[in-house]
């Protein structure tokens, strides 16, 4: 069983890695976006799916990464790849500043402070307009080819999956899950919950930072409103919940399925986009709290963390 | 100059306090942070707007309609959706109310477009010594204060109010004493929605009305709860007034753009230094 799963994963990886050579430009772009969502959903899962501390402002890290990369590319003349990686450095620094105080308290405090974080970062970005271009944003030089970005984003998604695998199969992950199940009991067992939550939060902020950095290169123009949309956070949450929160493959499954649905159906109902997501959230929480994978786990007796 | 900031801040703070009281009640009784609180506020705002635009109803009279209307909406939401996640991990209730707020906001945008609308009823200001006081703000402040005091009276004097406070102090014990906790949940959520609705009506007299108008108030209400101390209802009044003054001074001395940033810094500092709130509450 395990070998079969590994073989399948390798085949899919091999297929994806040679895909740009024969697939159309449209398919490559679409897959690039799926990679992006997989990485983002994974990152949300690492903090919220595992510890139960809901982050309503993960897009703040995405946006921070995007602005870091854009500023480094345009103002400092960096190559886009190291600039994108630097996005994670600023995102993690932001997470450290926010997470240190907010994660010491129980769930709701963290959730609401994250909801506001997004608005705050956006306000700061607009305020320091000499660096960020204010409301009109930053325009990057046009990029020549999508290929390098495709592989870079694929690498980020793969890294996200590997980190998830490592976290969920390690003691670290078990301790995080114990925080979700009962934080007080976990503390009584001698688990340093404040430190572990913070580590998980930092890891989960690093991925969106890089994704944001590469995304800035992809869209070549960023401005405050388009870079910090609440919809991005919503999408991460929906994908993760839909696939199954707190699992390795849940976010991947959710991101892939919902991206495909979205492309096929919802692009025709553009204005209903957020509403449908809201309805899915309510539906999943009330009727399918553990997502698709949760249903499959119950039916086929799979391990809980897969 | 400084006095001006404090006065206009206090006037705004009264409305914050009333809106936050609703959120504090829900949090106290059910341990649920209602992220859809701002959405209910928005529905109250549109109630006032449509009654004013279609029938020319005095916006202050429309409070008599927006309160019962949102009371009903709140009761239904609690009965059919939120009651399922009371007692579940926080993640469920937070995400559920978040999903609800997105859904309702989207429906509002589809039905009423995302245009900015306004109720032009009471405008202008008068001078009191060196301080300019805006008329709509003074009147809405008085209304908010009256309603908040009425809510306190309800909580202190009536049997239902006592049951609400008992449930928020200790749910199981309240149940043992023969209080129907589910019913109290329903009444609390309905009452809180009603307060949010009235808040929306009052806000719509001062500011523009649009589907996302309530979003900022979720954070503000939460900050007020933290300032006053969770589970401490009079604390909400104090917290609201403080937040108002801080915002008033920030927008006067620095920039209105930064007032949200300052409020955020305030929250983080407060969580670090005094997590039980200024008046004593629970963590």
Rounded CA separation A106/B266 (Å): 18
Query: What is the pLDDT, as a whole number, of residue A305?
Result: 64
Task: Report if residue B27 sits inside a domain.
Answer: yes
Rounded CA separation B249/B1 (Å): 9
Does position B282 have pLDDT exceeding 70, yes or no?
A: no
Rounded CA separation B217/B16 (Å): 8
**Residue B83 carries which DSSP code?**
G
Q: Which candidate, A208, A222, A257, places its Cα nearest to that of A55?
A: A208
Q: Which candidate, B63, B75, B265, places its Cα nearest to that of B144?
A: B63
Residues of B in contact with A113 (CB under 8 A): 264, 267-268, 271
Taking residues B108-132, report their average pLDDT.
83
Element (H, E) at A102: helix A80-102
Nearest to B89 among A52, A112, A282 (CB): A52
Residues from A in contact with B at Cβ < 8 Å: 48, 52, 54, 56, 98, 101-102, 104-109, 111-113, 115-117, 119-120, 123-124, 126-127, 180, 234, 237, 241, 271-275, 277-282, 285-286, 289
> In the structure, what pLDDT confidence band is assigned to residue B145 with cuts at 50, 70 and 90?
very high
Rounded CA separation B41/A257 (Å): 35
Number of compact structural domains in chain B: 1
Structural domain including B93 reads 2-214
Q: Which candidate, A181, A241, A240, A294, places its Cα nearest to that of A303?
A: A294
Q: Do B253 and B29 meet the contact criterion of CB atoms below 8 Å apart?
A: no
CB contact under 8 A, B264 and A289: no
Query: What is the pLDDT, as a whole number, of residue A267?
Result: 67
Per-residue pLDDT tens over the stretch B160-190: 999 999 999 889 999 999 999 999 999 999 9
The shortest C-alpha distance from B127 to chain A (Å) reads 33
Task: Report if residue B257 sits inside a domain.
Answer: no
Task: List, in sequence order, every residue forming a beta bridge with B282; answer none if it has no partner.
Answer: B230
Rounded to the nearest 5 percent, the helix, strand and coil shares of chain A are: 80, 0, 20
- How many residue contacts between A and B have a Cβ separation below 8 Å? 130
Phi, psi (rounded to 5 degrees) for A77: 70, 30
Rounded CA separation B100/A275 (Å): 9
Q: Which residue of A has its CA nearest to B218?
A: A112
CB contact under 8 A, B103 and A278: yes
Query: What is the pLDDT, as a whole number, of residue B176?
Result: 93
Q: Do A106 and B283 meet the contact criterion of CB atoms below 8 Å apart?
A: yes
First and final C-alpha spacing in chain B: 37
Taking residues B101-115, report their average pLDDT.
91
Instruction: Please state the length of chain B.
Output: 283
Task: Report if residue B6 sits inside a domain.
Answer: yes
Task: Report if residue B222 sits inside a domain.
Answer: no
Predicted ipTM beyond 0.85? no
Query: What is the pLDDT, as a whole number, of residue A266?
Result: 65
> In the structure, what pLDDT confidence band is assigned to residue B158 with cuts at 50, 70 and 90?
very high
The shortest C-alpha distance from B18 to chain A (Å) reads 19
| Predicted TM-score of the model (pTM) | 0.85
Surface of B (70-99) touching A: CB under 8 A = 81, 84-85, 89-92, 94-96, 98-99
Rounded CA separation A247/A48 (Å): 11
Residues of B in contact with A123 (CB under 8 A): 257-258, 260-261
Q: Which candidate, B51, B217, B204, B41, places its Cα nearest to that of B118?
A: B204
Which of A47, A111, A284 is most worth mutating to test chain B (most B CB atoms within 10 A of its CB)?
A: A111
Per-residue pLDDT tens over the stretch B190-227: 999 999 999 999 999 888 899 989 888 988 898 898 88
Q: Which residue of A has its CA nearest to B266?
A: A113
HSE-CB at A290 with a 13 A cutoff on CA atoms is: 13
> In the structure, what pLDDT confidence band is assigned to residue B260 with cuts at 50, 70 and 90?
confident
For all residues of chain B together, what is the average pLDDT?
88
Task: Report if residue B263 sits inside a domain.
Answer: no
Task: Report if residue B270 sits inside a domain.
Answer: no
Q: Could you please report the per-residue DSSP string of A117-179?
A: HHHHHHHHHHH-HHHH-GGG-EEPPPPS-SHHHHHHHHHHHHHHHHHHHHHHTSHHHHHHHHH
| Nearest 10 degrees: Cα torsion B29, B34, B40, B45 | 100
Query: What is the pLDDT, as a whole number, of residue A75?
Result: 86
Q: Do B147 and B198 meet the contact criterion of CB atoms below 8 Å apart?
A: yes
Element (H, E) at A221: strand A221-222
Residues of A in contact with B260 (CB under 8 A): 116, 119-120, 123
List the pLDDT tens digit at each of the 306 positions of chain A. Answer: 678 878 888 888 888 888 888 888 888 889 999 999 999 999 999 999 898 888 888 999 999 999 999 999 888 888 889 999 999 999 999 999 888 888 877 767 788 788 888 888 888 888 888 888 777 888 888 876 788 889 999 999 999 999 999 998 899 999 999 988 888 899 898 989 889 999 999 999 999 999 999 999 888 888 888 788 887 888 888 899 889 888 888 999 999 998 888 787 766 777 787 888 888 888 888 888 888 888 888 787 776 666
Task: Report if residue B268 sits inside a domain.
Answer: no
Query: What is the pLDDT, as a whole number, of residue B265?
Result: 83
CB contact under 8 A, A282 and B218: no
Residues of B in contact with A280 (CB under 8 A): 99
Query: What is the pLDDT, as a whole number, of residue B283?
Result: 43
CB contact under 8 A, B268 and A116: no
Q: Is B157 exposed, middle or buried (0-12, 13-18, 19+ CB in 10 A)?
A: exposed
Per-residue pLDDT tens over the stretch B2-23: 888 888 889 989 999 999 999 9
Element (H, E) at B134: strand B131-134
């Amino acid at each position: 069983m395990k070998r079969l799963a590994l073989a399948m994963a390798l085949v899919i990886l091999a297929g994806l890695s040679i895909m740009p050579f024969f697939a159309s430009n449209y398919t490559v772009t679409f897959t690039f976006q799926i990679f992006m969502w997989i990485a983002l959903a994974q990152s949300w899962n690492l903090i919220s799916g595992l510890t139960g501390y809901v982050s309503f402002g993960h897009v703040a890290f995405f946006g921070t990464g995007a602005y870091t990369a854009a500023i480094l590319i345009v103002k400092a003349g960096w190559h886009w790849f190291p600039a994108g990686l630097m996005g994670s450095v600023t995102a993690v620094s932001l997470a450290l500043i926010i997470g240190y105080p907010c994660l010491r308290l129980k769930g709701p405090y963290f959730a609401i402070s994250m909801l506001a974080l997004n608005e705050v970062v956006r306000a700061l970005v607009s305020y320091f307009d000499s660096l960020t271009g204010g409301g009109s944003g930053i325009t990057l030089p046009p990029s020549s080819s999508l290929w390098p970005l495709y592989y870079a984003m694929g690498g980020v998604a793969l890294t996200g999956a590997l980190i998830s695998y490592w976290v969920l199969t390690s003691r670290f992950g078990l301790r995080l899950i114990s925080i979700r199940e009962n934080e007080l009991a976990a503390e009584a067992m001698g688990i340093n919950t404040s430190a572990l939550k913070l580590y998980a939060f930092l890891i989960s902020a690093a991925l969106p930072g890089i994704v944001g950095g590469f995304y800035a290169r992809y869209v070549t123009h960023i401005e405050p409103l388009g870079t910090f949309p609440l919809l991005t956070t919503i999408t991460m949450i929906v994908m993760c919940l839909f696939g199954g929160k707190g699992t390795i493959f849940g976010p991947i499954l959710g991101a892939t399925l919902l991206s495909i649905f979205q492309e096929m159906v919802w692009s025709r109902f553009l204005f209903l986009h957020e509403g449908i997501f809201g309805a899915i959230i309510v539906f999943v929480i009330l009727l399918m709290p553990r997502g698709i994978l949760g249903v499959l786990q119950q039916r086929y007796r799979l391990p809980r963390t897969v | 100059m400084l006095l001006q900031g404090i006065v206009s801040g206090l006037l705004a703070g009264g409305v914050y306090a009333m809106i936050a009281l609703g959120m504090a009640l829900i949090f106290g009784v059910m341990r649920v942070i209602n992220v859809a609180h701002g959405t209910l506020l928005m529905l109250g705002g549109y109630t006032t707007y449509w009654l004013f635009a279609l029938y020319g109803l005095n916006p202050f009279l429309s409070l008599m309609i927006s309160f019962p209307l949102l009371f009903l909406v709140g009761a239904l939401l609690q009965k059919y959706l939120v009651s399922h996640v009371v007692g579940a991990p926080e993640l469920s209730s937070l995400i559920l109310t978040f999903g609800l707020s997105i859904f309702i906001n989207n429906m509002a945008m589809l039905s009423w477009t995302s245009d900015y609308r306004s109720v032009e009823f009471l405008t202008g200001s008068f001078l009191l010594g060196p301080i300019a006081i805006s008329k709509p703000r003074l009147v809405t402040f008085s209304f908010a204060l009256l309603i908040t005091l009425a809510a306190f009276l309800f909580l202190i004097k009536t049997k239902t109010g006592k049951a609400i406070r008992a449930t928020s102090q200790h749910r199981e014990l309240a149940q043992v004493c023969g209080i129907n906790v589910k019913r109290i949940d329903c009444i609390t959520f309905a009452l809180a929605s009603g307060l949010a609705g009235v808040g929306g009506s009052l806000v719509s007299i001062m500011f523009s009305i649009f589907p996302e108008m309530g979003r900022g108030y979720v954070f503000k209400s939460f900050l007020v709860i933290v300032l006053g101390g969770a589970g401490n209802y009079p604390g909400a009044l104090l917290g609201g007034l403080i937040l108002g003054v801080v915002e008033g001074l920030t927008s006067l001395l620095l920039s209105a753009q930064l007032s949200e940033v300052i409020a955020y810094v305030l929250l983080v500092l407060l969580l670090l230094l005094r997590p039980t709130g200024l008046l004593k509450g629970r963590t």
